[in-house]
């Protein structure tokens, strides 16, 4: 041993990294085995009637956790992102409108799916977000049902509506949908998975048993990427394929612009496909503005179209990602997918979406992680995917009360459950609205600050901060900034017309 050669010394030195690697591999193996054991123990506490379904779900969770352990470094190497090919994103204006006589048959090949797993808590509401009134006392769900009923009645079609609920929204949604019994819409629901939150320190589930309602904080719905597997597990995928349906249109229930589009459906079912290969996946994208810099975008990577989210971008390239010049489009999360292709990809186990690691702190101070995936990230698993650059009107999400202000205003009128931009509006874009969190973030409080919603037809930009109320018949035009100092209150009088004005703490009205 004393006569060690230089060569042996070098070799010995080089062993260290692989030892580290072996240590990490062993730790990962250990983590997976321990998780498996914990999941088995959890399943022992489950109700016998639910065991089979829960077993399937826990298999899905284990697979997700295994992939989480395998992933090293970013899923996208920045320098390998390719320029989008010429025909990767079709312009909406290039799509053909089908003959009236063909529409019924086309609609009968469609399933409409709404992501309905979210609660209204961020806007101060209890229960599912979909039951918040958004216009004329109609909720997101009411408007969706009206839209589809109108299609079915107009064309004599049978488009079904499917709601993907979460364990948070399921009971309340089931009660609400009873009121649509007499409507010409068949409504189906299924639940997305319910996964255990994992302790950041031990990498083990924090849940002790399967009585979820007793420890709701220990569980979470794993993002909308879980749609594919849960849809198949529910039996609905098989049912719709057996009925001869070909495509599903999937969107967030709070996106009021995501209505069934006949021209896109025609592009999918029509005879103008390249060759005989069907389009398996469509992501609706729209032009990025400075307000959308954080939205996911379409890229070409390893010769496939795929979704790039800000979470996947290396820190040094975040500014490039946000650039409107480099990445012109962002994902609206309106997705069209071929049912047969979803089944094929799931059966072949080639569904492989990037994992989003969401760090949370529970009320008791415990730090946990929840593993999620995004529905659009599945694009790279399909063949013949395209983007369609749609008008901005197809992206009208209501995430905050500032969005609610727009959809409740005279910027829109309501037609068969769909919001239509007023022809009096000079620009197709919506005004940029910022309402102060302290006084406007909760729906009830927000509504109490307006005697009625102001006229916004000519508004470009509105900022309101502090204790501000609006009288009846107020008109806001151009850029309006209203800031009440701490302890002061500003009441905008009834009938006031504010055009390019700054209203500050002591109610002085200045020209902007």
Q: What residues are labeled active site?
A: 399
DSSP annotation string for 133-173: EEETTEEHHHHHHHHHHHHHHHHT----EEEEE-TTTHHHH
* Rounded CA separation 105/128 (Å): 34
Burial 207-225 (b: 16+ CB within 10 A, else e): beebeeeeeeebbbbbbbb
Token pair of 348, please?
A: 């072949």
DSSP annotation string for 390-433: --GGG--B--SHHHHHHHHSTTEEEETTEEEE-TT-SSSSPPEE
Q: Residue 152 phi/psi, 5° resolution?
A: -60, -40
CA distances from 328 to 67, 251, 291, 319, 377 (A): 31, 21, 13, 14, 18
* Rounded CA separation 127/510 (Å): 43
DSSP state of 277: P
CA distances from 399 to 79, 135, 269, 328, 507 (A): 34, 15, 33, 23, 30
Residue with tokens 């009088």: 493
* Rounded CA separation 457/421 (Å): 10
* Rounded CA separation 253/132 (Å): 11
What is the CA angle 401-407-408, rounded to 5? Answer: 85
Token pair of 216, please?
A: 């709701």
Closest by CA position to 257, among listed 417, 410, 459? 417
3-state secondary structure at position 315: helix
Contact present, 376 and 333 (Cβ < 8 Å): yes
Closest by CA position to 74, among listed 317, 331, 283? 317
Q: Residue 36 phi/psi, 5° resolution?
A: -55, -45
281 Cβ contact list (under 8 Å, min separation 6): 335, 336, 337, 338, 341, 378, 379, 382, 384, 385, 386
């Amino acid at each position: 041993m004393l006569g060690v050669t230089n060569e042996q010394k070098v070799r010995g030195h080089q062993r260290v990294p692989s030892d580290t690697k072996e240590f990490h591999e062993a730790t990962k193996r250990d983590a997976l085995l321990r998780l498996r054991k914990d999941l088995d123990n959890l399943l022992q506490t489950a109700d016998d009637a639910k065991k089979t379904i829960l077993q399937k779900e826990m298999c899905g969770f284990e697979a997700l956790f295994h992939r989480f352990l395998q992933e090293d470094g970013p899923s996208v190497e920045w320098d390998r992102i390719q320029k989008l090919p010429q025909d990767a994103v079709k312009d909406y204006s290039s799509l053909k409108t089908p003959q009236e006589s063909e529409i019924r048959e086309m609609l009968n090949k469609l399933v409409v799916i709404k992501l309905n797993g979210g609660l209204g808590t961020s806007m101060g509401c209890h229960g599912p977000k979909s039951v918040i009134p958004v216009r004329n006392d109609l909720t997101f769900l009411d408007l969706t049902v009206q839209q589809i009923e109108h299609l079915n009645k107009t064309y004599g079609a049978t488009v079904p509506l499917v709601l993907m609920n979460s364990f948070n929204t399921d009971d309340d949604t089931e009660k609400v949908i009873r009121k649509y019994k007499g409507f010409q819409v068949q409504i189906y629901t299924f639940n997305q998975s319910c996964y255990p939150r994992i302790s950041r320190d031990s990498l083990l589930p924090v849940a002790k048993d399967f009585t979820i309602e007793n420890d709701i904080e220990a569980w979470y719905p794993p993002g909308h990427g879980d749609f594919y597997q849960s849809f198949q597990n529910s039996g609905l995928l098989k049912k719709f394929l057996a009925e001869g349906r070909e495509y599903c249109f999937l969107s967030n229930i709070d996106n009021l612009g995501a209505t069934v589009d006949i021209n896109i459906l025609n592009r999918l079912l029509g005879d103008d496909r390249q060759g005989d290969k069907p389009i398996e996946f469509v992501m609706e994208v729209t032009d990025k503005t400075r307000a959308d810099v954080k939205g996911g975008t379409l890229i070409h990577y390893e010769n496939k179209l795929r979704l790039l989210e800000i979470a996947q971008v290396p820190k040094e390239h975040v500014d490039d990602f946000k650039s409107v010049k480099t990445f012109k489009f962002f994902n609206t999360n309106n997705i069209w997918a071929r049912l047969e292709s979803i089944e094929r990809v799931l059966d072949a186990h080639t569904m492989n979406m990037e994992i989003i690691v969401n760090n949370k702190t529970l009320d008791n101070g415990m730090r946990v992680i929840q593993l999620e995936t995004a529905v659009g990230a599945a694009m790279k698993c399909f063949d013949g995917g395209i983007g369609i650059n749609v008008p901005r009107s197809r992206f009208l999400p209501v995430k905050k009360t500032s969005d609610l202000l727009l959809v409740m205003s005279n910027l829109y009128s309501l037609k068969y459950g769909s919001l239509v931009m007023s022809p009096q509006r000079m620009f197709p874009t919506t005004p940029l609205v910022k309402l102060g969190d302290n006084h406007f973030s909760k729906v009830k409080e927000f509504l109490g600050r307006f005697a009625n919603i102001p006229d916004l037809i000519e508004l470009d930009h509105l900022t309101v901060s502090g204790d501000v109320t609006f009288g009846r018949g107020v008109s806001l035009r151009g850029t309006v900034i209203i800031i009440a100092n701490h302890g002061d209150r500003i009441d905008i009088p009834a009938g006031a017309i504010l055009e390019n004005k700054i209203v500050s703490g002591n109610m002085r009205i200045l020209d902007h």
